[in-house]
Structures are given as structure tokens and as C-alpha cells.
Structure 1
Amino acid sequence: MFMYPVDEEINLRLVTERDAEEIFQMIDASRAHLRRWLGWLDHSMKVEDTKTNIKNNLLLFLTNEGLDTAIVYKGKIVGKIGFNKINKANQTAYVGYMLDEAYQGKGIMTRAAKAIVKIAFEEYELNKVEIHVAAENDKSRTIPKRLGFKEEGTIRSAEWLYDHYVDHVVYGMLRDEWN
């Protein structure tokens, strides 16, 4: 199983079906907060939906097309981070993340994001990592900025969120820019 120690408080580990209940409960507890930024929440209304998503992500992992990890903070799953997609031809990973609202402000996501970028460049030997963030999601936009990503542009009306479109700001980092 994939397990990556970030520091003394945080580990990243591959999400498996046995995590479905805990992940669903984490999502459900932060549903109102996460709904502002994640368009799939209405398709995850029960544990079985979470299990289906986990199975799909495990298939992506097995074919080296994705990586879905739980952020385990002091033994508890508090979020997820990973490669939503790996473009093998261009050697690019597209990172996505979410964090339980109750655990924001502790530096957890910045540390987890730094680790996932390191995994992309050192373990997967990819050339580029991209993070796409809703333009108005200021908290999420601070993550790539803290890590030294370059703002590459804005995709207008990039995503439909329930009743409106949101723009995405694209951040990128190349392997030779990573320290």
C-alpha cells in the first residue's frame, strides 16, 4: 500500500474502500463549506457513493493515471490530496485537494501539498505539476503560492458549480523549479 510520511503529525496514504465511512463522514461534516468549491458533492450523498469513487480512483492508481491519498493528521483522516489525473504523454500531474473545515489554519494542507509535489517529481519523475483553483477560493489559492508555483493564467467559466460558472486560476511548477 502507498504510504508517505510528511512529518511527525501527517501521513499521506492511499485511500481504500475501508476508508469510505470515515471519508464520507468528513465530507458530510464540511458539506456546506466544501460545496462552494466542489461540484461533485451532490453526487456523494451516501457512503456507497464514496465507495464507488474510491474504486474508480484505485483503478486510476493501478494504471498510473492518478493517486488519491487520505491526509491523516494525528491518526485521523482530515482531508484528501492527490493527482486527479496524470497526463503520461506530457508528464504532468493535476493536483486536487480538500480539507475538513475544522482542521483549516494548522498548515496541514500546505505540508500535504508540498509532499504531493515532491512525490510527483521524485517518485513519479514527472515534469510538471498543475493546480487549478476557483478564482474566488482565496484560501486554496494560497497553497500553490506558498509553494512557489507560478500563476499561469485563468480559464474563464471553467466549471459549473450547481447554479453558476466559476473561473479557474491555473498554477504550475516545473521539475527544474522544485527545490
Structure 2
Amino acid sequence: MFSRQVNESSRLCLTVPQFADDLFALTQRNREYLQAWLPWVDKVKTPQDTRDFIIEQLSKFVLSEALHACIFYDGLLAGALAYNCIDLQNRSGHIGYWLGQDFQGKGIMTECVKDLIRVGQDYYQLERFEIRCAAKNARSRAIPERLGFEMEGTIRRAEKVHDHWYDHIVYGKLVA
């Protein structure tokens, strides 16, 4: 199973069905916070919804199309990090992430994204990394900015969350 120690406190583990109940519970505890930015939260109503998502992600992992990992911080499930899309032909990976509110402000996600980039280089030979963030989500945008990603542009009305649209800032990083 894919598992990596990122630093003394953080570990990435391939998301497997055994994590479904804990991942659903973390989503539940952070539902209101996550709903402001992520449209998928409303679709996750039961642990089975989370389990079904995990199985779908594992199928994509087997085909080298995606990689979804749980983030553990001091042994506690803290959030998730993924290559939502791996494009082997063009050697690019699209990164997405979320973290429970109680775990924010500790540098966890920045270190985990940095490690995921290493995974992309070492195991998938990726050379381009992309992160899209809601223009108004300063916390999410801070991660690619800290990691030296370049702002490549804005996609207007990129994502509808509830009754309003978010513009997305596209960040890219090239590593040869």
C-alpha cells in the first residue's frame, strides 16, 4: 500500500475503504466549513457515499489516472490530498486538497503537497503540476504560492458552489 512519512508529524496513506468511516466523520465535523468552497460536500451524506468515492478513486489509481491519499497528522486523520487527474502522456498532474479546520495553520498541507510533487516526479515522471483555487480562498491559494507555483491565469465562473460561482486561479509549476 502507498504510504509515506512526510515529516515527523505528517503521513500520507493511499485512501482505502477502511478509512471511509473516519473520512466521513472528518467531513461531517467540517461540513459547514468545507461547503463554502467544495461542491462535492453536499453529495456526501453517508459513510457509504465516502466508501463509493474511495472505490472509484482506487480504480483510477490502478490505471495511473489519479492518486487519492489521506493525510494523517500525529496519527489523526486530518484531510485529503490528491492527483485528481494524472495525464501520463503530457506528464502533468492536477492537485487538489482539503484539510479539517482544526489542523490548519500548522504547515501540514504545504509539506504534503511538496511531497506529492516528489511522488509525481519519482513514480509518474510528471513535469507539470497544476493547482486551481477559488480566487477568494486565500488559505488554499497560499499553498501553491509558498511552493513557487506561478499564477497562470483566471478561469471565470469555473465552479458553482450552491447558488454562486467561483472564479478559479490556475497555478502551474514546471519541473524538468
TM tier, smaller: over 0.9
* Aligned 8 A contact 2:86 2:93 in 1: yes
Q: Distance in 1 between matches of 2:128 and 2:52?
A: 29
Deviations 1:116-154 (A, max 9, x none): 111112221111010000000000000000000000000
Q: Distance in 2 between matches of 1:150 and 1:123?
A: 23
1:16 maps onto 2:11 in alignment: no
Q: Name 1:37's counterpart in structure 2.
A: 37
Q: Name 1:27's counterpart in structure 2.
A: 27
Q: Name 1:96's counterpart in structure 2.
A: 96
- What's the TM-score, normalizing by structure 2? 0.98
State the Cα distance separating 1:89 from its structure 2 match.
2.1
Deviations 1:28-47 (A, max 9, x none): 10111111110111110110
Q: Name 1:167's counterpart in structure 2.
A: 167
CA RMSD of aligned residues (A): 0.7
Q: Distance in 2 between matches of 1:32 and 1:118?
A: 32
Q: Which runs of 5+ in 2 are unaligned?
A: none
Q: Percent identity?
A: 39
After superposition, residues 67-86 of structure 1 pair within 5 angstroms as 67-86=67-86
Q: Distance in 1 between matches of 2:3 and 2:154?
A: 34
State the Cα distance separating 1:5 from its structure 2 match.
1.1
Aligned residues: 176
After superposition, residues 101-140 of structure 1 pair within 5 angstroms as 101-140=101-140
Q: Which runs of 5+ in 1 are unaligned?
A: none
- What's the TM-score, normalizing by structure 1? 0.96
**What amino acid sits opposite 2:24 in the alignment?**
F
**What amino acid sits opposite 1:152 in the alignment?**
E
